[in-house]
């Protein structure tokens, strides 16, 4: 696996890959890789000639500075894992490479990004969309892969690509869950043993509740601090706080529910 840090370095690689007629698949990440990322990488490897993964803890999408500080960082371990998986390129930019303008320019969506997670995390999706567009502009992949755990993010990115006529195909991958039903997330590492049990209850209540209201009531009965539970585009999406860690999850809604 070749590690590339600068745009000029990537441009050289990109010319070589393009001239061999190879397709490029891209998995953007913030590191702290887990089974969810692995599933994206494996799909990307299977569907493209060359796979590039980026690791960049994007500061502009953290509305809470404490959350940014606490965000787990493990580049060496991540890099070894990506190498084992057979990834071709690791893109590891620094802040100036991604934000040469110091974030004076940003991408704003005015509808969907203000709801659900957006209603509770001001500026979050602005940061996500801006960084993803910049990464797409640097990498220029044929396909890019996003997890359905961050369902709102995935839909916003798909819409952004349509809105800006961008030449990249967005593919989504199903949520990966641990044996106790908890959707895998870098944040799970921050949970206490009791918090982890509550997280499993959160997953189970979300999956089995008959309506958003029923889920809300059951979560509150368990003393789980709610951010939101809402039905949207055939999914039931929820965010909660457990051990002061914000966890999100979603399930498809069966038509009879
Ligand atoms: O889902 C994530 O890890 C991040 O939001 C992303 C897409 C890598 C942008 O920083």
Cα 43 vs. chain centroid, distance in angstroms?
A: 15
Q: 67-108: per-residue pLDDT in tens?
A: 899 888 999 999 999 999 999 999 999 999 999 999 999 999
Which pLDDT score, from 0 to 100, does residue 71 have? 86
**Interval 197-208 mean pLDDT:** 98
Q: Is 37 a catalytic residue?
A: yes
Alpha helices, H only, 106-237: 117-120, 124-139, 151-163, 193-208, 212-221
Would you say residue 182 has pLDDT above 90? yes
**Is 58 near ligand 1, meaning CB less than 6 Å away?**
yes
Would you say residue 255 has pLDDT above 60? no
**How many other C-beta atoms can be found within 10 angstroms of the C-beta atom of residue 23?**
15
Which pLDDT score, from 0 to 100, does residue 14 have? 97
Active-site residue (options: 34, 37, 124, 142): 37
Confidence band for 256, pLDDT divided at 50, 70 and 90: very low
Structurally, at CATH architecture level, domain 2-173 sits in 3-Layer(aba) Sandwich (3.40)
**Is 132 near ligand 1, meaning CB less than 6 Å away?**
yes
Q: What percent of the chain has pLDDT over 70?
A: 99
Would you say residue 7 has pLDDT above 90? yes
**Is 78 near ligand 1, meaning CB less than 6 Å away?**
no
- The residue contributing the CA closest to ligand 1 atom 1 is 29
Would you say residue 184 has pLDDT above 70? yes
Q: 109-160: per-residue pLDDT in tens?
A: 999 999 999 998 999 999 999 999 999 999 999 999 999 999 999 999 999 9
**Of 119, 195, 125, the residue nearest 154 (C-alpha):** 125
Would you say residue 218 has pLDDT above 60? yes
Q: Where are the domains of the chain?
A: 2-173, 186-252
Q: 225-235: per-residue pLDDT in tens?
A: 999 999 998 99
Just give the CATH number of 186-252: 3.30.1300.10
Residue 79 CB contacts under 8 Å (≥ 6 apart), including other chains: 1, 3, 55, 90
- The residue contributing the CA closest to ligand 1 atom 5 is 128
CB 67 within 8 A of CB 107: no
Would you say residue 38 has pLDDT above 70? yes
**Is 152 near ligand 1, meaning CB less than 6 Å away?**
no
**Interval 58-64 mean pLDDT:** 95
């Amino acid at each position: 696996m070749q590690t590339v840090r600068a745009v000029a370095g990537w441009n050289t690689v990109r010319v070589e890959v393009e001239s061999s007629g190879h397709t490029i698949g891209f998995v953007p990440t913030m590191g702290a890789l887990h089974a969810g990322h692995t599933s994206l990488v494996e799909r990307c490897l299977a569907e493209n000639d060359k796979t590039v993964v980026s690791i960049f803890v994007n500061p502009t999408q953290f509305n809470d500075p404490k959350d940014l500080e606490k965000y787990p960082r493990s580049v060496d371990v991540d890099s070894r894992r990506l190498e084992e998986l057979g990834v071709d390129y690791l893109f590891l930019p620094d802040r100036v490479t991604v934000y040469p303008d110091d974030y004076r320019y940003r991408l704003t969506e005015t509808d969907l990004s203000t709801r659900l997670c957006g209603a509770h995390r001001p500026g979050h999706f602005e940061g996500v969309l801006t960084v993803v567009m910049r990464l797409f502009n640097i990498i220029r992949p044929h396909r890019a892969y996003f997890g359905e755990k961050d369902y709102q993010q995935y839909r916003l990115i798909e819409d952004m690509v349509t809105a800006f006529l961008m030449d990249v195909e967005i593919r989504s991958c199903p949520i990966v869950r641990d044996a106790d039903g908890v959707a895998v997330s870098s944040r799970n590492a921050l949970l206490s043993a009791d918090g982890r049990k509550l997280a499993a209850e959160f997953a189970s209540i979300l999956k089995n509740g008959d309506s958003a209201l029923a889920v809300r009531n059951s979560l509150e009965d368990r003393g789980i601090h709610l951010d939101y539970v809402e039905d949207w585009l055939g999914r039931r999406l929820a965010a909660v706080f457990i051990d002061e860690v914000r966890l999100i999850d979603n399930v498809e809604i069966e038509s009879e529910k």
